[in-house]
Homo-oligomer: A and B are copies of this chain.
Amino acid sequence: MPKVGMEPIRRQQLIKATMAAIDEVGLADATVMRIARHAGVSAGIISHYFGGKDGLLEATMRQILSDLREAVATRRRELSTTSPRDHIGAIIDGNFDRSQVTGPVAKTWLAFWASSMHKPELARLQEVNDRRLYANLCHQFRRVMPHDEARACARALAALIDGLWLRGALTLEGLDRDEARRLARDYLDRLLDNRNTLSPS
């Protein structure tokens, strides 16, 4: 057999290089040459392994969302209780997991979010991720409050999580993970302890 086994290595290299390039100069200036230089390979290799630049960008977003999903799933698997508060807490912690909040990942995530408004394929990935977060939150809230209230709580908490991410991606210092977790968990406590102020639509 000929020289084999380069494909998974190169794919990982190039995905990582894509995030590094976006972190460095932004999505608009992340050219194939710059990405290739980050990975220490030539530009042509991108088309060879990903069919083109779009394929690489899509694969990169897929990786980010997959890591996020796994971070949340791991935290929930480690739970010994079944209480809604703990499960939602695990979802919060997973969303502010270390691997997700590093500078390059956060900036790439935001760049793709903005880009997904006009690229159907990215929008699809984003929507799947979004709906899972919302559905998970909704399901847990549903165990301790009525339908309408649970939906409102899920929407609000999801918005707070995204907002903290958004602001974390922009600030020079990056996101303060501990503070973000503290703020989100405090909000959760307020939602669970004093449930009757959020009137349904």
Question: Which A residues lie at the B interface, using CB under 8 A?
Answer: 25-29, 107, 110-111, 113-119, 126, 130, 152, 155-156, 158-164, 166-167, 169-170, 179, 182-183, 186-187, 189-191, 193-194, 197-199, 201
What is the distance, in angstroms, from A22's C-beta to the closest C-beta of chain B?
9
The oligomer's copy count stands at 2
A114:B118 contact, CB within 8 angstroms:
no
B residues near A194, Cβ cutoff 8 Å = 190, 193-194
Across the A-B interface, give the 10 residue pairs with the lowest CB-CB distance, nearest first: A163-B163, A159-B163, A26-B118, A114-B114, A162-B163, A190-B190, A156-B183, A159-B164, A160-B160, A186-B198
A197 contacts B201, CB within 8 Å?
Answer: no
Residue of B nearest to A111 (CB): B114
Contacts of A152 in B (CB 8 A): 179, 182-183, 186
Other-chain residue from B119, B160, B169, B198 in contact with A156 (beta carbon distance below 8 A) = B160
CA distance A172 to B22 in the complex (A): 26
User: Quick one: which of A116, A118, A182 has the most chain B CB within 10 A?
Assistant: A118
A179/B201 in contact, CB under 8 A: yes
Minimum Cβ distance to chain B for residue A108 (Å): 10
Looking at the assembled complex, report how far the CB atom of A57 sits from the nearest CB atom of chain B, in whole angstroms: 11
B183–A159 CB distance below 8 A: yes
